[in-house]
Structure 1
Amino acid sequence: MSLTIAVIGGGAAGFFGAITAVETFPDATVTILEKTRTVLNKVRISGGGRCNVTHACFDHRQLVKHYPRGEKALRPLLTQFDAAATVRWFEQKGVQLKTEADGRMFPTTNTSDTIVDCLLTTARRLGITIRTSCGVSTVQPTETGWQLDLLTGETLYADRVLVATGGYPQRPSYDWLPEQTEELVAPVPSLFTFNVPDSYLLPLAGVSVPDAGVSVTGTKQQQRGPLLVTHWGFSGPAALRLSAWAARDLAAVDYRFTLRINWVPTLSENDLRTTLQTFRQQHGRKQVSSQNPFGLPSRLWIALALESGIEESQRWADLPAKLFNRLIERLTNSQFQVVGKSTFKDEFVTCGGIQPGGLHPQTLESKAQPGLFFAGEVLDVDGITGGFNFQNAWTTGYVAGRHIGL
């Protein structure tokens, strides 16, 4: 009799695990159970509809540094399937990837449909059954395998089960898993933007700075990178990275904190002061608001100057020391009161889930429940934006699929 494998979750990790299982164990019968009406939903919307497949970081030691949680668990798994393996896998399936300047990798077609079609076509060619609108209410071990009770009222039986449901926003959402499953880390959101309703920069929505330093006051959490002003507050890679690394700190304060922004992080305060003094001497007759020596967007510069108390008609030569110092303070230490978060729909992930420590580190099989495997975001492994979360899905899906038939 062939081995029957049930994969719970029709996302990236679920499909990759199912495909790897059949490619490794050709006689296995594999069924993907997806509770929603469509599969691969996050793959479709990620990267603005282009699908950020992975990141061009082929050194395992460097790659794992992009994961706020799960670095230790992911490192040995990458020896089995890493970013380079991901590129080769898709190329072998006829999908070419390209690398952008920031290291993100996308299909050359610039559409996520290419990745979705690849996974669907491969799964169907291998004879994998895909069932949608088919949620699982309970999973219980039997003497010979597993019993899955479905929300449809059906009952299925399988020899092995791979849980690849993605993350859940609340702890009770995991209650359908079998008893004595590995310790669960309470889930909280990661990768979100900051709501600052009282920000004087809201009228500048759409203005971006290629390199800004952002930090959370009262903590050691800080990041640098592109920052985007939005009509609700701040977004962009710098904000998203900060939200990922500080996910638990920010959840603990209910997303109410002081955000500090350094708009010129490449300069120390002394160097910045010297640069401004020199600029002031050379352009004394010009208005402060007319230009700046740091290449900041003009609208942002004017807003920072006005917030410092500098009128638009104020000339550099006539700028009082008090206002000069305020301007330096705004440039290096702007402070905004964050009073909530907004889901970054393309990249939203969950911090928390099943602790990898309860799984065999080379197979992702449960130590407490033999025959039960886990992959993807359901694990307490999450990365920053840039293709790292999909790489976690490909890696863990492959590892689980590679060993699920043994």
Structure 2
Amino acid sequence: MVTRRSSATWLALGYAVLVFYASLYPFWPWRLPPSLPWPGVVGLPWPRYWSRFDLWTNVVGYAPLGFLCLFAVVRSGKGLWGAWLLVGVGLPLLSFAMETLQYFLPGRVPSLADFLLNSAGAWLGGVIAWTLHRFGGLERWTGWRERWFVPHSAGALALLAVWPVGLLYPAPVPLGLGQLFPRLRELAEQVLAGTPWELMPDESVSDLPLPPGLEAIAIAMGLLAPCLLALSVARAGWLRRVMLVMGAGCLGLAATASSTVLNFGPDHAWAWFTTTTWPGLLIGGVLALMAALMSRRANAAWGLVVLTALIALMSEAPADPYLAESLQAWEQGRFVNLYGLAQWVGWLWPFAALAWLLYGVTQSDSAPSPLRSRLDRPSEDASTRDISHTSRAGENPDPTMAP
């Protein structure tokens, strides 16, 4: 088994953070319970009541984690035994640890039923992943990835997979992620209030929305940024690059519409599609199609520029008071644990993409993978291959690798 860098590893780690967040939210206040439970699973109480929502969320919540963990371990070359050890034992232990820590949070209720349902969900996800692997699903995915993306692209693919999650929390501007600095300043003002280091209110910050021109530019950059990230790891071929751009655009539109439906109802699914939005989407789409003609390194370089500009613009975009008021019912309801995470993903995604572009594109991908070598192996005999190899010496097989 060949060891590979897998996007499943990054996604599994990210999903484990989601489980930690959802299990221990709101993380405060911590207190020592009046009496500690009996050590072990038997110490967890059986719930007095539960709902259908609790049933399916506990199962479905851990199923993707079991799925991703099994694929991640298999892709890393550890084999099925190691994968089943992690899914069958490690994930139930994680659930048990989360349920036990809830004893120390007054706002959370530990439950033996939650532990059993979490474990069943992890095993279900592992069984689904094993079934796909048994019937060649992993090999087909590997082959598709080798044909479409260069080696060392796992981090970029993981970022592209979580990008729609960040769009689920409505941003001040459609597709406008990265509004982290205003939130950090608000947090600093709260923490330092009443101290010698108290921050004065920033009078330069305006409550007015961005002008229509800047808003259209922010929307265009919000669409262009993930497209440039995808093109920075895409193999040569204008058609497949165009398909990646179109797929990213459709995914962004669908995620934004889904966010509007979840927060404001189905009647408002396309209320965000205004006379300012569609020019921004058009500009971003045209620029992304033009970027499909550039090299991977050029797309990575322009991705750094676009992400930096997007973060700067979103730092100037004020929060919508009507939006904040409309989200109160959602944030204080049963979905608060997962939905708050979507907000954090939206804040941090551009920074994570910046970090990957700064580091990931420096990795060497000159050595082809064994699967790619088999896919590209010519059918002629050895002498013909030698002659062909000699005639092609000095040529660059991937035009997009040119600086």
Same fold (TM over 0.5): no
TM-score tier (shorter)? under 0.3
Please state which structure has a larger fraction of its residues in helix. 2
TM-score (norm 2): 0.23
TM-score for the superposition, normalised by structure 1:
0.23
